[in-house]
Amino acid sequence: MKPSVPWLLLSSAITLPITFEANTLETIDLQTPSTSQSLGTNDSYQGATTPTTAFSYKNTSSPNGTSYSLTGDVSFINVSSTQSPTLSNVQPGHNDGHSHTSLVTPRAYSVSMLTEDPENQVITQNSPVNINLTTTDSYPQAGQNTQPFLRRNTTAQSGTTYTLANDVGFQNITATQTSPASTSQQTPASNIHSFTKPLGISISSTPISTTTTSTTTSTGNGETNKSCFSNTAGPLSFVGNGHSLLFQNISITPQGSAINNTATSLTFSGFSLLSFDKATNQTQSSADSAIFIGTTTNGVMKQSEQPSASFTISSNTDVNFSGNHSKGAGGAILVKGNGTISGNTGTVIFSGNSATNQGGALSLEKSLNITDNAQVIFTNNSAATVSDKKSVKEGNGNQASTGLGGAIYCLAASPEQNVQTLDETNEIAVSFSGNKTLYLVNNSATTSGGAIHTKNLSLTSGGQTIFGCNSSSKGGAIFITDGGKLNLTALDGPITFRGNTITTSTTKTEVLNNDSSTNTVTANAITLGNGATITNLRAATGQSLQFFDPIVEVSTPSKEKTKIKAVQKAILQINALDDTTDTHHPDSSSSVVYDGTVLFSGENVDNSRAENVTSVIYQPVSLNNGTLWLKSGAILEVDSFIQNPNSLLVMDVGTTLKTHNTPIQKQSVESEEQAEQESSSAKQNSNEETKVNAQISHRLSSTHRKEQLRVGSSIRDKIISVVSETLSSLHPEVAVHTEDNATTDGNITITNLGINLNSLGRGENESITITGGSSGTVKLTGDLQLFNGNNDAYDSSIFSKGFSTDILKITTEGSSETGTVDLSEFNPYLLGATSANYGYQGTWSLQRVEKNGQSSFEMVWKAAGYKPGPELSALLVPNSLWCATVDVNSIERLMELTGETNNNQQGLWVSGISNFFHRDAMLHRLGFRHISAGYSIGANSQTSTDNVFNIAFCQMFGKTKNYFLSNTKSHLYAGSIYTKHSKTIRIYGFELPAIVNTHLSYGTIHNKMVTDYPAISSARGVWDNHCLSGEIGFSLALNPMNIIFNRVSTFAKVHAVYVNQESFNETGAGEKCRHFRSSHLVNLTLPLGIKIKSNEDPDNKTYALTLAYHPDVYRVLPQSHVALPAKETSWSSPGTNLARQAFLAELSCYQRAFTHLELFANGSCELRSSSRNYNVDVGGKYKF
């Protein structure tokens, strides 16, 4: 197109053998030249000025395309009729009966997707289309507030890719249009000619303004039933290139309001943020999914005939789908095929999405894989419309048609289809694996699957995985449909089900209602449909699979005798190795060891209601490795149970392991009330027989069908033989049993049973119950292990006194003559945690009791005192007396230093003081350290007779820690007096100077101790210590006549210290709070040593070295009496016993800085075999 041409208005006139609806693509023959025609001003048409002349339509048929080149401004306005260009067959102004007045409205394409040089480049059917999206493609742009969104429609058979060059957003879209000046009329599909993708044509997105009166229908408000992006052929991809794509506040109502892809696949990749926020109409009855992939089909279609539709969201950073809705299925995404969400490095969140029928967030008809993402969250999604009673009653699909899968629905059949028409050979599954964090919380569905509704589910954790507070009518978190499979593996993080519930009506209804007064809420994690099985429950080393909500199956024991037994199910394997033959769940390497914990617990629910804690699984169960733990009143009911000796079955008192006693008649997903009504309708036997015959006919037509037979009691006998013969021929390995042997296995074999000691004394039921079937065998072998999981069981006050409890009851249902209890290989001895290093001490014994046809075992405990653990011993309290002694001793050494400075005169001095004391840990006794620092201010004077008097005040701050749970902060105030009297004495004719010195110190220490207990509040204690210390010493100076030393003196001292600790109570830790009685420390030491002074100028600098031996000749150790009121027990907590011999080395320095200013420093080290004490003082003295 020439750049000089200002505009071209294609309003309504040209009928060409081309179309932008490229449904059928033809390859252009490159050997045939294309046709080129010119359009000039004379070719313009103005219907208002020439009303009697019809427009001569332009008709071309070149297979290689036609190019119109403009030589001037051209317009075609107000065309009401057309005529042949030759006028040979049509009179002027006459309509020839053909649809020449119909218009072809071209779809809008971005410039980047179109060929810019039509003469040199030809796009064939094998050429993919790439469309660049930039900031200028965002909506709304300036001036577009009143213009509908220009929708993007693509039809490239080889695929279309939208590539972002910038951040792009589409917001506040209320209507869409195909072009800025389109009309409301469209050419019928039968009249649209097939052609390749348009070449070299660009449609402007700016409306053309004209003053000419137009007779076309205005579409200024656009259409509300067309998607923002649509694709009808080939795969569709969006590539982010590190940019963000936002769809927000879209109120149009087509299926897939943001994106409608009725071709094959849809892919999103490479986005920093991919967000669909309120990308549908916010009125549920009008909304129809933010994204739709697949073709809409009516009636029943086999899956093999469905188009290959799928979506992939991969290699993005953050992905957000929030506030999207659907009046049908899939509030965020509805796909008639597979889905993959993988490799996203940020957060993938589906929040606040809803659907009427199924899949509040996602609805799929094939498999869904969510793998290797950093964080995946499904929260507050819902499938929340009340089910239709009539559709359930009539058995349409054996399930309610609405409210399925609050977050995810993945099943081959749509709700409108009958389940019996599905091809069951095509496995449909939801798979989670490798996700570092996976949360499915607060999702809800009114019928089934609060979070997930699917046939097959495989979940392998890649980190923490939580199903929390989801709710439904069946399957609080997960619902597995008839014949499905469930596989849960805690591989790289724990999997937890907590707070999930089902709500059942107390009236004779089969659907939920909103009247909370008639509904009963029951804890439930997973509900299994008829014939559904759990293949694996596994936890790797150090991991756990935790069910704080039970698992149930909709199949229940018949209330009357039945002559049909269900097909035998596969064994539920707990902590089994990977089955390399299982192609449906290849979730981890076979080298992984599964010896973690699988937990069933009732600790977070009302366990007074049995249904809150009872897991019912109609399968044989095998415990292969690791630990199965029944906790807090949990009840596990299975077909049979067998344990490998390498595993451990741990049971709390009050828990039960049992087998089903009555034959199992598999019922439909419908409620038990409906089953009772059907079985009691004897007057409708003829109708029932017709229904049964139809079901049998269908069952015989499918070799994999496992439909149950709902029959009236009067006609069951007529069909047993037919069903038995048919199933035997179709499945030789499966036998249909009659009433004689129509019972569950009922056997229980336990080889390693553990009792959780922490559960003793926590409820009225103090027994563990193991119950086999009426004709089964309960076999117990090995020893009875006592399990102390948290190593704190013996802290319970129940062990403060002796007691006995009927700990284990073993029986079978019904008469003891049919069931068997085998204890021939059981050793009546207690092993494991029979005692503890800390806590209450005592001994156990085990006695067997036989009564009323059942075997039970009684455990007897004999108490023998209490031994506190390290966290309760509180050794820092008595050891605080040693810390006070260390601080006061350092003050006394400082006083002696300041009293012996050069040329003692009257003056004031100030000094910093610091201590570091470390006590080594010993067997059965924790070590500790004490660090303190502070300052001292003093004054001294020297009389004419060389008597020295020194007085000082000191303040110090300290911290003590025992490397465990406790630490103490201290604040010391002390005062000290030091005196020195010098006198010359004669010994063997020598006059030697002698010195007598005395010390007296008093300090009060305020202590604050904090003990940080795990899982409870910290305990805090406050108390004061009082310290009194005194010393008297004698030294004798020697004159060695040595050029190195000026003076050498020996000394001997007597040093005594007394420290008292006040009594106090702890606060803040509940039953862990302790009471401490007062205690005291007395220590008497006789220091002996030598002191050497340097021979420097006594008026400038002097060094002094002191070496001493400190033997402790008398000691009274601190002994703190500790009481624990909550447990009504007490014990003595002794302080540490330091080694009685110590060696002291001290180095001092005096330096005159000015005439009246003297600086001094001192460092000392006291070494004992079990402790070290370091002291550093630095200060100055001002002399008058």
Span 977-995, pLDDT tens digits = 999 888 877 777 677 788 8
Q: Specify the pLDDT at position 969.
A: 95
| 945 three-state secondary structure | coil
Length of the chain: 1184
Closest listed residue to residue 695, CA positions, set 731, 729, 665, 668: 668
Q: Are 443 and 436 in contact (CB under 8 A)?
A: no
Q: What angle do CA 306, 309, 311 make, to 5 degrees?
A: 155
AA letter at 346: G
Residues 6+ apart with CB under 8 A from 330: 289, 292, 355, 358, 359, 361, 362, 363, 364, 409
With left for phi above 0 and alpha for psi between -120 and 50, is residue 746 left, alpha or beta?
A: left
Q: Are 313 and 278 in contact (CB under 8 A)?
A: no
Q: Measured between alpha carbons, how far is 494 from 254 in angstroms, rounded to an integer?
A: 42
Q: Measured between alpha carbons, how far is 348 from 202 in angstroms, rounded to an integer?
A: 38
Closest listed residue to residue 289, CA positions, set 329, 251, 249: 329
Q: What mean pLDDT is predicted for residues 836-854?
A: 82
Burial class of residue 593 (count of CB atoms within 10 Å of its CB; 0-12, 13-18, 19+)? exposed
Cα(first)–Cα(last) distance of the chain, in Å? 106
Of the candidate ranges 374-388, 420-434, 626-640, 1055-1069, the one whose mean pLDDT is the lowest:
420-434
What is the band of 693 on the pLDDT scale with cuts at 50, 70, 90?
Answer: very low
The pLDDT of residue 291 is above 60: yes
- The whole-angstrom distance between residue 1158's C-alpha and the CA centroid of its chain comes to 67
Task: Tell me if the pTM is above 0.85.
Answer: no
Tokens 């156990």 map to which residue?
Answer: 844
Q: Specify the pLDDT at position 343.
A: 95
* Residue 1001: CATH number of its domain: 2.40.128.130
pLDDT top residue among 143 and 205: 143
1014 lies in some domain = yes
The pLDDT of residue 588 is above 60: no
What is the band of 15 on the pLDDT scale with cuts at 50, 70, 90?
Answer: very low
**Quick one: which H or E segment has residue 391?**
helix 389-393
What is the band of 195 on the pLDDT scale with cuts at 50, 70, 90?
Answer: very low
Q: Specify the pLDDT at position 31.
A: 41
Using the 3D structure, point to which of 817, 833, 867 is the last residue of a domain.
Answer: 867
Q: Are 620 and 603 in contact (CB under 8 A)?
A: no
pLDDT in tens, 1155-1178: 788 899 999 999 999 899 999 999
Q: Specify the pLDDT at position 856.
A: 84
pLDDT in tens, 923-932: 767 789 999 9
pLDDT top residue among 867 and 974: 974
Q: Are 392 and 364 in contact (CB under 8 A)?
A: no
Q: Specify the pLDDT at position 274.
A: 96
Q: Are 1109 and 1087 in contact (CB under 8 A)?
A: yes
Closest listed residue to residue 626, CA positions, set 649, 603, 642, 657: 649
Q: Specify the pLDDT at position 887.
A: 96
pLDDT top residue among 709 and 856: 856
Q: What angle do CA 1160, 1031, 918 make, to 5 degrees?
A: 65
Q: Measured between alpha carbons, how far is 47 from 58 in angstroms, rounded to an integer?
A: 16
117 lies in some domain = no
The pLDDT of residue 16 is above 50: no
| 210 three-state secondary structure | coil
32 lies in some domain = yes
Q: What mean pLDDT is predicted for residues 258-270?
A: 93
Q: Measured between alpha carbons, how far is 139 from 180 in angstroms, rounded to an integer?
A: 14
- Beta-bridged to residue 326, according to DSSP, are 288, 355
Most confident option among 398-402, 962-966, 999-1003: 999-1003
DSSP state of 821: E
Q: Measured between alpha carbons, how far is 999 from 371 in angstroms, rounded to an integer?
A: 76
Residues 886 and 828 in one domain: no
User: What is the signed CA dihedral for 275, 281, 286, 289, rounded to 10 degrees?
Assistant: -10
Using the 3D structure, point to which of 849, 867, 885 is the last residue of a domain.
Answer: 867
Q: Specify the pLDDT at position 13.
A: 37
Residues 1117 and 987 in one domain: yes
Tokens of residue 1078, six digits:
């007062």
Q: Specify the pLDDT at position 1067.
A: 92
pLDDT top residue among 426 and 93: 426
Domain that holds residue 862: 746-867
Tokens of residue 395, six digits:
């058995």
Tokens 């089994």 map to which residue?
Answer: 576
Q: Specify the pLDDT at position 613.
A: 93
| 207 three-state secondary structure | coil
The pLDDT of residue 121 is above 50: no
Q: What percent of the chain has pLDDT over 70?
A: 72
Closest listed residue to residue 374, CA positions, set 345, 332, 399, 409: 345
Q: Specify the pLDDT at position 420.
A: 34
Q: Are 234 and 203 in contact (CB under 8 A)?
A: no
Of the candidate ranges 189-198, 356-365, 996-1005, the one whose mean pLDDT is the lowest:
189-198
Using the 3D structure, point to which of 803, 838, 867 is the last residue of a domain.
Answer: 867
Residues 948 and 837 in one domain: no
Closest listed residue to residue 819, CA positions, set 769, 858, 768, 853: 853
The pLDDT of residue 511 is above 60: no
- Beta-bridged to residue 420, according to DSSP, are none
Residues 881 and 848 in one domain: no
pLDDT in tens, 941-972: 887 777 889 999 999 999 999 877 889 999 99
pLDDT top residue among 112 and 428: 428
The pLDDT of residue 413 is above 80: no
Q: Specify the pLDDT at position 741.
A: 35
Q: Specify the pLDDT at position 764.
A: 66
203 lies in some domain = yes
The pLDDT of residue 591 is above 70: yes
What is the band of 644 on the pLDDT scale with cuts at 50, 70, 90?
Answer: very high
Q: What mean pLDDT is predicted for residues 601-628?
A: 91
Tokens of residue 680, six digits:
């009691």
Q: Are 325 and 281 in contact (CB under 8 A)?
A: yes
pLDDT in tens, 66-82: 888 887 788 887 787 77
The strand pair at 544-547 and 597-601 is best described as parallel
Query: Maximum CA pair distance of the chain?
Result: 161
Residues 6+ apart with CB under 8 A from 209: none
Q: What angle do CA 180, 185, 187 make, to 5 degrees?
A: 110
Closest listed residue to residue 16, CA positions, set 140, 112, 100: 100
Residues 863 and 875 in one domain: no
Q: What mean pLDDT is predicted for residues 268-284?
A: 93
Q: Specify the pLDDT at position 901.
A: 61
Q: How far is CA 1001 from CA 975, 976, 978, 1059, in A?
A: 6, 4, 9, 12
Q: What mean pLDDT, rounded, does the chain reach?
A: 77
What is the band of 912 on the pLDDT scale with cuts at 50, 70, 90?
Answer: very high
31 lies in some domain = yes
Residues 895 and 829 in one domain: no
What is the band of 579 on the pLDDT scale with cuts at 50, 70, 90?
Answer: low
The strand pair at 640-643 and 748-750 is best described as parallel
The pLDDT of residue 1062 is above 50: yes
What is the band of 782 on the pLDDT scale with cuts at 50, 70, 90?
Answer: confident
896 lies in some domain = yes
Q: Specify the pLDDT at position 872.
A: 82
Residues 1143 and 1007 in one domain: yes
Q: Specify the pLDDT at position 415.
A: 43
Q: List strand residue ranges (DSSP E) for 690-838, in order.
A: 748-750, 753-756, 768-772, 777-780, 782-787, 803-812, 820-822, 826-832
pLDDT top residue among 671 and 772: 772
Q: Are 147 and 179 in contact (CB under 8 A)?
A: no
Residues 6+ apart with CB under 8 A from 814: 661, 774
Q: What mean pLDDT is predicted for residues 515-543?
A: 88
| DSSP string computed for 239-256 | E-TT-EEEEEEE---SSS
Q: Are 338 and 364 in contact (CB under 8 A)?
A: yes
DSSP state of 809: E
What is the band of 1095 on the pLDDT scale with cuts at 50, 70, 90?
Answer: low
Residues 890 and 785 in one domain: no
pLDDT in tens, 209-228: 333 333 333 335 688 888 99
Residues 1004 and 1083 in one domain: yes
Residues 1024 and 988 in one domain: yes
Tokens of residue 655, six digits:
């828990």
- Beta-bridged to residue 339, according to DSSP, are 311, 368
Q: Structural domain tally of the chain?
A: 3
What is the band of 382 on the pLDDT scale with cuts at 50, 70, 90?
Answer: very high
Q: Are 1132 and 1122 in contact (CB under 8 A)?
A: yes
Q: What mean pLDDT is predicted for residues 391-400?
A: 37
pLDDT top residue among 51 and 996: 996
Tokens of residue 340, six digits:
């993959």
- Beta-bridged to residue 787, according to DSSP, are 756
Closest listed residue to residue 383, CA positions, set 358, 409, 400, 408: 358
Q: Measured between alpha carbons, how far is 471 from 486 in angstroms, rounded to an integer?
A: 19
Q: Measured between alpha carbons, how far is 520 from 524 in angstroms, rounded to an integer?
A: 12
Q: What mean pLDDT is predicted for residues 367-393?
A: 77
Q: Measured between alpha carbons, how far is 470 from 502 in angstroms, rounded to an integer?
A: 9
Q: What mean pLDDT is predicted for residues 825-852?
A: 83
Residue 160 neighbours by CB distance under 10 Å:
25
What is the band of 143 on the pLDDT scale with cuts at 50, 70, 90?
Answer: low
AA letter at 170: F
Residues 881 and 860 in one domain: no
pLDDT in tens, 708-737: 333 333 333 433 343 344 334 434 333 333
Closest listed residue to residue 570, CA positions, set 702, 779, 733: 733
658 lies in some domain = no
Residues 772 and 857 in one domain: yes
791 lies in some domain = yes
